[in-house]
Chains A and B, each alone.
Chain A
């Protein structure tokens, strides 16, 4: 690829609140970038509660895990699981029977330093919460993707996480809005993307609609980006393209009528 000789970017995907779609985002954006020909590795740092291997459908191929690499039981190369569906996508599995405290931020930094020369993108799947697991996950990252849902508690946690990232001197923090339902926004039952951006004041990198296809693909162990027709697949592909520097317009997945927009414009005070 174009940046074969440049060190890879480390991108942490985080959220504060659990279950908002971090692992789904990592699996799909990483797959999309790999499909575009980039060299990608995903690191599962949700130690003790791993899910990335399942979502990518690689659970049967796992032999070693990240803790074994750190404790010197195997080499980093031995622990990397190759995803055969893509030219260059690898996963470094989490350990299921250990704790988040069994690994330190310094060790994560050292591991990423080893991976940087060989990859264009290094994704870190961050566990929920703001404790040690979070500190480990952000330690080596150059940029952060904050995933949230259009829902008050998820937005509150996202705001907290953004504050913590800013205190940790992150300057590149981008928002992924997941599970958006436009029909609900239109009916006034759900927060809109603009509402979220107004509250959180960070740049947007993707809008992923609620999509049944996600559950189907999770069941099959196939990233949804392999299924071109799904709306979520388009959304994750667009995030990948934006990360790689393309300027892609945001699809609103919206069919709000011209009339409604017009009347809103007429009656809004601003």
Chain B
């Protein structure tokens, strides 16, 4: 919303600089993930294996890397069977 007001006041839509920034944000996230796609697969398999030994997994388990700037986190979402 504030962005919109800012744009109206400065009389510009998305500037080439803004576009460059959002394109870079996308492409860099993708590049950084790309190199670790295999690693993510391996991690997912092994984590699921350990969990499955103790509880029943159901649905679509997910293991993702979330990056924001220099910071990264593993987002693990494993639905397990309720009673």
Contacts and interface: CB of A to CB of B under 8 A. Distances in A.
Contact of B31 (A160, A188, A264): A160
B69 A195 contact: no
B70 to A, nearest CB: 4
Interface in B5-60: 5-6, 9, 12, 15-18, 20-21, 23-25, 27-28, 31-32, 35
A217 interface: no
Contact of A163 (B16, B24, B32): B32
Given A199-B28, A201-B69, A201-B70, A152 B12 contact: no
B28 A267 contact: no
Contacts of A155: 24, 28
A156 B12 CA distance: 26
B9 A267 contact: yes
Contacts of B9: 263, 267
B2 A267 contact: yes
Chain A interface SS verdict (over half):
helix
A150 to B, nearest CB: 8
Nearest to B14: A188
Interface string A252-270: 0000000000011001110
Most chain A beta carbons < 10 A, residue from B12, B16, B23, B24: B24
A267 B70 contact: no
Given A199-B25, A269-B2, A269-B3, A156 B31 contact: yes
Contact of B18 (A160, A187, A188, A267): A188
A189 interface: yes
A62 interface: no
A192 interface: yes
A85 B42 CA distance: 58
A191 B15 CA distance: 10
Contacts of B16: 188-190
Given A159-B28, A269-B3, A198 B17 contact: no
A163 to B, nearest CB: 7
A174 to B, nearest CB: 15
Contacts of A195: 17, 20-21
Interface of A: 151-152, 155-156, 159-160, 163, 185, 187-192, 195, 198-199, 201, 263-264, 267-269
25 contacts: A152-B23, A152-B24, A156-B27, A156-B28, A160-B31, A163-B35, A187-B15, A188-B18, A189-B15, A189-B16, A190-B16, A190-B17, A190-B20, A191-B17, A192-B17, A195-B17, A195-B21, A199-B21, A199-B24, A199-B28, A201-B69, A201-B70, A264-B6, A268-B2, A269-B1
In order of increasing CB-CB distance, the 7 nearest A-B pairs are A188-B15, A201-B70, A269-B2, A267-B6, A188-B17, A189-B16, A201-B69
